[in-house]
Amino acid sequence: MKVLVTGGAGFIGSHIVDRLVIDGYRVRVVDNLSSGRLENLKQWLNSESVELLVGDLREPEVALRAVDGVNVVFHFAANPEVRLSTTDPEVHFTNNIVATFNVLEATMIAWRKSKRDFEVYNVASEDWITVDEVAGIVMEVMELKDVERIYKPILHGVG
């Protein structure tokens, strides 16, 4: 099974990549590196398990390339600066809404072409989903059992 992690060079996305590779999945990462860092993926950059696609999901062609041949999409690509939505809503809109729309559209196009099953999960910073809920989704989709979950509390969007 091949998994796409958008925003996979970011903090959350790179941890999902770590777990997927450790569990034996082939992972494609797409990230524009605006806030994500290659350093977060350094242990996998020369691995055959990880394919890195540097590109911007605001461009529909990038989204189409990203979803090609994958079965599961974890969509974490977003502008992480929540306060930007009040000071520059256009940037927030294009980075978060347009990119998400392009990923969903590309997934639909790929599904129509291949008729294979897709699972798409979108978790953006403003969705207010807990770390435990994200972990539960990942564990369910990846059929992970007997996994110990340890978290550090994170306050996001407070300021």
Q: Are strands 26-31 and 50-54 parallel, antiparallel or unpaired?
A: parallel
- Starting at the edge strand found earlier in the chain, the sheet holding 72-75 runs 50-54, 26-31, 2-6, 72-75, 119-122
Whether residue 1 has pLDDT greater than 90:
no
Rounded to whole angstroms, the Cα distance separating 155 from 87 reads 21
Domain boundaries, the chain: 2-141
Here the tokens at position 141 are 């989709």
Q: What's the predicted TM-score (pTM) here?
A: 0.74
pLDDT in tens, 89-135: 888 888 888 898 899 889 888 888 876 665 555 554 444 445 556 56
When mean pLDDT is compared over 16-25, 113-122, 148-157, the highest value belongs to 16-25
pLDDT in tens, 35-84: 999 999 999 999 999 999 999 999 999 999 999 999 888 999 988 877 77
CATH code for the structural domain at 2-141: 3.40.50.720
